[in-house]
Amino acid sequence: MLVTRFAPSPTGLLHLGSAYSALFAWTKAREAGGRFLLRIEDIDTQRCRPEFTTAIIEDLRWLGLDWDGDVRVQSEHVAEYDAVIANLAARGLAYRCWCSRADIEAHASAPHGPEGAIYPGTCRHLSTADQQARAGEPFAWRLNLAAALRETGPLTRDPRPFGDVVIGRKHTPGSYHLCVTHDDALQGVSLVTRAVDLEAATAIHEVLQRLMGWPVPAYEFHTLLTNSDGTRLAKRDRSVGIRALREDGYSPAQVRAMVGF
C-alpha cells in the first residue's frame, strides 16, 4: 500500500507553498487508495511553537485534507532519536563536535556544500583526553561520513558534498536528517514527496537508512511555488498565508485552485 506524509515544522503559519506540498502528497495517497499521514516536525524547540501546530492543523482541515491515524509529534519522541545516535556512536559512526559555525566558516580549507561550509573534521581527530576535557561544554553529534560509507555499500546519490553532517545538538536532540528518516521508517512511508530544494539532502537520508537497516522509500520531487518575481514563497509573506486568505474571504476551493488542486 502506498503511504505518503506531510511533515511541516511549526515555525510559522501555513502558506501556499506548504499547502501545495500537503495537497501533492495527499492526492498521491488518495488516488492510489493508500494512506496519508500528518507529522509535526517540532524537534527544534527554540523555533517551533505549539500555537503554530494548532494553526497548521486547523488550516489543513479547512482546506479539506484528512489523514490516517494519529498525528505524530516529534518532540514527544526524543528518546527514540537519542537511541539512534547512541547506536551510531557505539559503532564509531558518530562523534561529539564542539566547533561553532564561526569556527567552521573560518577554517581556511573548508569547502562549501549544499548546507554551507563542509565540516573539516576537527573534532573527529580529538584524543580521548581532549574530549574528556571538554565534557561539560555544549556539543553536537556529527555523522562520521567516511566510516559510514564503508558500511553502506553502493548508494543512488552521492552524500560526500555534505561531509560530516550534524545529527543532533544540545537544543535539538535529533537533526532533521536523522528524525525524518527514523520516522519515515517507523511509520512505513513508502513514497516521500518533497520540494526539489530538498532533493540533494536525500543522499544523507539514504546513508542513515542503510546504516540503520531501514527501508529506502521511493522519492518524488515537486517544483517550488514562487511569487511573481520568482522568489520562493515564505512564511513571513502574509499575502500567501492560508490564514490570511481565509480572513480575506477566500474559499477552500479557491485556495486549492491557486496551487493547482
> Which residue, of 113, 134, 168, is where some domain finishes?
168
Any domain includes 174: no
Any domain includes 173: no
In terms of Cβ atoms closer than 10 Å to its own Cβ (0-12, 13-18, 19+), residue 247 is exposed
Any domain includes 215: yes
- Cα distances (Å, whole numbers) of residue 256 to 15, 164, 170, 234: 12, 40, 39, 18
- Our count of domains for the chain comes to 2
Query: In terms of DSSP bridges, do strands 218-222 and 191-195 run parallel, antiparallel, or are they unpaired?
Result: parallel
Q: Which of 28-32, 182-186, 193-197 has the lowest mean pLDDT?
A: 193-197
> Which residue, of 119, 140, 168, is where some domain finishes?
168
Any domain includes 23: yes
Which region, left, alpha or beta, applies to residue 51 given φ > 0 means left and ψ of -120 to 50 means alpha? alpha
Any domain includes 193: yes
Any domain includes 127: yes
> Which residue, of 137, 168, 199, is where some domain finishes?
168
Cα separation, 195 vs 259, whole angstroms:
14
| Same domain? 70 vs 85 | no
End-to-end CA distance of the chain: 23
Domain holding 200, by residue range, is 3-76+180-258
| Same domain? 144 vs 213 | no
Query: In terms of DSSP bridges, do strands 112-113 and 35-40 run parallel, antiparallel, or are they unpaired?
Result: unpaired
**For the chain, what is the mean pLDDT?**
91
User: What is the CATH classification number for the domain harbouring 159?
Assistant: 3.90.800.10
Given a cut of 90, whether residue 188 has pLDDT beyond it is yes
User: What is the CATH classification number for the domain harbouring 239?
Assistant: 3.40.50.620
Any domain includes 27: yes
| Same domain? 12 vs 51 | yes
Beta-ladder partners of 15 = 241
| Same domain? 160 vs 43 | no
| Same domain? 15 vs 49 | yes
Q: Which residue has the higher pLDDT, 231 or 242?
A: 242
pLDDT digits over 66-84, tens only?
Answer: 999 999 999 999 999 999 9
| Same domain? 191 vs 115 | no
Given a cut of 70, whether residue 107 has pLDDT beyond it is no
Joined together, the cell numbers standing for residue 78 give 526524543
Given a cut of 90, whether residue 93 has pLDDT beyond it is yes
Any domain includes 175: no
What confidence score (pLDDT) does residue 109 get?
58
Among residues 33, 47, 78, the alpha carbon closest in space to that of 179 is found at: 78
